[in-house]
Amino acid sequence: MKILLDILYAPLYLAAAIVEIIKEKDKTTPTWLKLLAPVLAVGGLGIFAVLSFVQAFVMTAWLGNPYPVFGFDQSPDQPISFPHTIHAGIGPLIDPDTGSPYISTSGESRVNDDGTTMEGLGMDCTYCHKQVSEEAWAGVPPVELCISCHKVIGEQSNDQLKTLRNYGLYEETKSPINWERVHRMPDHVRFVHAPHIWYLTENPEAIQNKPVGFETLPDGTVAISQVCSTCHGDVAGMEQVRQDQPLKMGQCVACHRANEASVGCETCHH
């Protein structure tokens, strides 16, 4: 660790050494050396700033979500800009942060031709992520499922829908869609969606980041779609999906402790 810090602060040490030389041997110090001192000092500060930023980046990435630089984008662009707002959103598509209609990834406001705010379809998350309550992986739908609606629904001129139809409707252009993964657990972590979903549906008090329009069923449980926000945030309010929660081990362990779930290593690392 000391060596690392020495390397990090090496320019400062060098600048300080030169200042000492200037003080002691002012008269005999050559001019080039006198000029070099402020240059090195400024340069050193610049390097210090950069390294401090790197250090801060590493520390934040370690503890939470990293800054979206160096390719660490929490909301990567997708082959098709699928808006969860329109599909899963409920009621008028108003961004709670701005109080205005959501803005699509292409910069268009979610308003109808008559100026009214568009409304979300309110589709249940499990319509597409069907396996979430039964398997480890929530799953993404086959293109055919998208096409089952968008064969008819949606403007023919819409570029995104054109792309989608190319993926799934026409024999000559049919191909799978390679979505950019947004949430990924490290290889040494085994996360299984199903038990988490069932626990949270039966214990709504454990749900975090409750979504807009959260409601409990008469028997005290909640629908599956109400629990996703605990780890994924309000996806129904995202024009482009991003990782909302850090999903670090500390968060997992804290939640497990709060709900008296196992915190043994083998629970996730097996």
Partner 1 sequence: MSSLDNTKNNNVSRRKFMGLLGGTALEAFIFEACGVPEQEYIIQSPVDMPEDYVKGEDNWYATTSDTSEHGESVIVRIMQGRAKKIEGNPDFPNTLGKHKAVTETEIQTLYHPDRISGPLYRKTSSGNHRPISWKEAESILKESLLLSKGNKSIITKPLRGMNKGIIDQFSNEKGLKHLTLSSLHDYSMYESSKEVFGTKSLPYFDIKNSDLIISFGLDFLGAWGPVEYENQFGKFRSKDHRGYMVQIEPRMSLTAAAADTWLCSDPGREGLIALMIADQIIKSSKGNSANINKFKELAGISDISELNNSSSSLDPKSVGSATGIDYHKLEKLIEKIITHLESNDQSKILFLSGGATSGYPNSKSINSLVFGLNYLTGSVNSKGGIILNPDNVFDDIEINGENLSLPTSSSWDSLDYWKEEIENWRSGNQDLIIVRGVDLVNEIPGKSAIIEAFNNSKMSIGFGTVVNDTLERCDLILPDNTTMQSWGSDIPEPRTGYQLFAFGQPVASDPYTRDGSKKLFDSKSFFNVLLSQMENGLSGLTYMDLCKEIANKIYKSSSYNNSSIVASNADDFFKGIMTRGGWWNINKKSSGPNNPKINITNVVSDVKRSNNSFHLIPFKSHVFGDGNSLANPWAQGSPDPLTSITWDSWIEINSKTAEGLKIKAGDILKVTSNSGSVELPAYLHPAVPSNSVSIPIGLGKQNFTRYASGRGSNIVELIDTSKLNEDGNISWNATSVSIEKTKNKKKVSKFEGTVPAIAVEPGVPILTVGPNESAEEGFHRAHEEHLDHTFGDHWKDKKHDEEKGH
136 in Cβ contact with 191 (< 8 Å): yes
Provide the CA 126 distance to its chain's centre, in angstroms. Answer: 21
In the stretch 48-87, what mask flags binding to partner 1 with x, by CB under 8 A? ----------------------------------------
182: Cβ contacts below 8 Å, ≥ 6 apart: 74, 75, 76, 241, 242, 243
Given a contact cutoff of 8 angstroms between Cβ atoms, the answer to whether 121 and 86 are in contact is yes
CA triplet 41, 45, 51: central angle to 5 degrees?
140
**β 119-121/90-92 pair status:** antiparallel
The residue from 6, 144, 159, 202 that contacts partner 1 (CB under 8 A) is 144
Each residue 98-137 as x (binds partner 1 by CB under 8 A) or -, in order, gives ----------------------------xxx-x-------
Q: Closest distance between partner 1 and the C-beta of residue 28, in Å?
A: 41
Contact with partner 1 (CB under 8 A) among 2, 181, 188, 270: 181
Identity of the residue, 127 or 199, whose beta carbon is nearer to partner 1 in the bound complex: 127
* Stretch of residues binding partner 1 (CB under 8 A), selected from 29-37, 114-122, 167-175, 203-211: 167-175
- The residue (of 101 and 226) whose beta carbon lies closer to partner 1 is 226
